[in-house]
């Protein structure tokens, strides 16, 4: 395959959800000027040839229908590791993945999407439905009292620069004075960043009547937001899967709002503030 310049990867399993993910990737590709890789993963090497031919035909069909450069890749392996390996191999810009939300036993062991995301240093856009808009104009940025690295804040520049997005800062409501102080400090840090970079924004406060994650999703619906930006749980482990990391609710939200997920560096390398996660 020819050299690709930081492509967008879409994990493809021939389902409606992967079609939705591709349609989102097309919108991103048109703005970012990136090619798209359709990545299909099989368990057995014997299935590679037949799967590739099937995927190649699908890629040709999508190229014709959507007028975008896309490339088929079939790999053996496990979804949790192979997406990570391919994204590193091609230095992917981002990964756009469809998810069916939280179903059945996944409520107890953590969503497949969360497990895949936790293995990647590359941003994920997780979607559940086809695009409602051709770009992301309004992005919800939840702010909590936890510490987090500056990667999430730096993505403000990326999203604002490429999509001219407006950010809706959604501040968690708490009663504890110590937590209030931390939230105020985090908000000041973000607001200063936004002002210094001439990014349009608004500040809103959560009512504090339900979990912050549920209030974040509800607020996003009320504001007709196009995306929610979250940081996944740092150093996620088996216990996080059992208890279901908090951001899992947002990633697989029942309103099917697209979510961009940034996976943080290990705690010893991180600094700044953290809006979501354990």
The string of DSSP codes covering 60-89 is HHHHHHH---EEEEEEES-HHHHHHHHHHH
Residue 222: pLDDT band (50, 70, 90) is very high
| pLDDT tens-digit readout, 78-117 | 887 899 899 999 999 999 999 865 554 344 445 566 667 7
Cα angle, residue 224 at apex, residues 218 and 227 outer, rounded to 5°: 85
pLDDT at 106: 47
**Which tokens hold the place of 5?**
């310049």
Per cent of the chain over pLDDT 90 is: 60
Asked whether the predicted pLDDT for residue 267 surpasses 60, the reply is no
DSSP 8-state secondary structure symbol assigned to residue 45: G
**Which tokens hold the place of 106?**
């996944």
What domains can you pick out in the chain, each with its CATH number?
8-98 (3.40.50.620), 138-269 (3.40.50.620)
- Please give the average per-residue pLDDT across 233-257, as a whole number: 68
C-alpha distance from residue 251 to each of 96, 192, 213, 244, 265 (Å): 13, 27, 10, 11, 19
pLDDT at 108: 41
DSSP 8-state secondary structure symbol assigned to residue 2: -
**Which tokens hold the place of 76?**
């053996």
Per cent of the chain over pLDDT 70 is: 79
| pLDDT tens-digit readout, 21-47 | 999 999 999 999 999 999 999 999 999
Contact 116, 77 (CB under 8 A): no
């Amino acid at each position: 395959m020819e050299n690709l310049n930081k492509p967008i990867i879409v994990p493809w399993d021939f389902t409606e959800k992967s079609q939705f993910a591709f349609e989102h990737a097309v919108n991103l590709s048109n703005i970012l000027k990136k090619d798209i890789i359709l990545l299909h993963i099989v368990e057995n090497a014997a299935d590679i040839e037949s799967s590739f031919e099937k995927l190649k035909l699908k890629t040709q069909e999508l190229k014709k229908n959507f007028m975008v450069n896309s490339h088929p890749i079939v790999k053996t392996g496990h979804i949790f590791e192979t997406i990570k390996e391919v994204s590193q191999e091609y230095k992917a810009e981002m990964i756009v993945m469809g998810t069916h939300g939280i179903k059945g036993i996944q409520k107890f062991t953590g969503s497949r999407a969360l497990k895949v995301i936790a293995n990647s240093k590359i941003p994920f856009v997780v979607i559940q439905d086809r695009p409602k808009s051709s770009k992301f104009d309004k992005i919800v940025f939840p702010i909590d009292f936890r510490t987090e690295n500056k990667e999430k804040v730096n993505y403000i520049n990326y999203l604002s620069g490429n999509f001219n997005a407006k950010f809706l800062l959604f501040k968690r409501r708490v009663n504890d004075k110590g937590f209030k102080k931390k939230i105020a400090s985090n908000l000041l840090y973000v607001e200063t960043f936004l002002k210094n970079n001439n990014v349009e924004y608004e500040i809103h406060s959560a009512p504090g009547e339900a979990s912050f994650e549920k209030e974040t999703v509800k607020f996003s619906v009320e504001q007709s937001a196009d995306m929610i930006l979250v940081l996944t749980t740092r150093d996620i482990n088996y216990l996080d899967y059992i208890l279901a990391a908090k951001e899992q609710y947002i990633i697989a939200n029942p309103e099917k709002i697209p979510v961009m997920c940034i996976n943080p560096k290990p705690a010893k390398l991180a600094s700044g503030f953290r809006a979501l996660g354990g």
